[in-house]
Amino acid sequence: MAYPVLNFPPVRLRAARRRGCDYVWDDLRGAWLLLTPEEWVRRHLLGWLREGLGVAPTAIVQEYPVALGGTAQRADVVVLDGGQRPLLLAECKAAGVTIDARTLDQAVRYNSVVGARYLMLTNGLRHYFYETADGLIYEPLAAPPDLSGR
């Protein structure tokens, strides 16, 4: 399968092909994952968080559990601050998926439980950032938030 060039710096991935499917090594979880189009975006986001923004691997949680209305959901990526509280919640979509109001609604629903200050929505081609002080009003940001003071 051909994967699109994304609007992230290139990342070095350890990949393998098994039984006709592509897999990628997740060094944070120590496991091989099926390389879906959404996972391609997530791998690049994680590389950018670590290499581009200097976020420590120990501050990154993938598939962060979110209990909504009695059902178990998962936020794609949550970055924790120095006190281990959620700072940024990121939702990834495949490059071919448009980021729209439904994507923002999903992230806001998740964040009603998680309580992060920042949201990031990305399909790898476009990235959207939001900040909230109260979890009710989300203001768009023109640039990525500074996560260095986690």
The CATH number for 130's domain is 3.90.1570.30
- Look at residue 136 in the predicted model and tell me its pLDDT: 86
Residues 11, 125, 141, 89: what is their CA dihedral angle, to the nearest 10 degrees? -60
Residue 7 lies in a domain: no
45-82 per-position pLDDT tens digit:
999 999 999 999 999 999 999 999 889 999 999 999 99
Q: Is residue 23 part of a domain?
A: yes
For residue 5, tell me if it sits in a domain: no
On average, the pLDDT of the chain sits at 94
As a whole number, mean pLDDT of residues 6-24 equals: 94
Which pair of tokens denotes residue 143? 């640039």
Helices (H), 14-85: 37-47
Is 147 contained in some domain?
no
Q: Considering the domain boundaries, does residue 8 fall inside one? A: no
CB proximity list for 74: less than 8 A, separation 6 or greater: 63, 64, 65, 66
pLDDT confidence tier of residue 148, bands split at 50, 70 and 90 = confident
**What is the extent of the structural domain holding 37?**
15-141
Does residue 51 sit in helix, strand or coil? helix
* Residue 1 in this model has a pLDDT that exceeds 80: no
User: Looking at the domain assignment, is residue 148 inside a domain?
Assistant: no
pLDDT the model gives residue 149: 59
Residue 94 lies in a domain: yes
- At 107, list the tokens: 């992230």
pLDDT at 62: 96
pLDDT at 145: 95
Q: Classify residue 116: in a domain, yes or no.
A: yes
Q: List 21's β-bridge partners, or say none.
A: 18
| Number of structural domains the chain divides into | 1
Whole-model pTM? 0.93
3 contacts 40 by C-beta, under 8 angstroms: yes
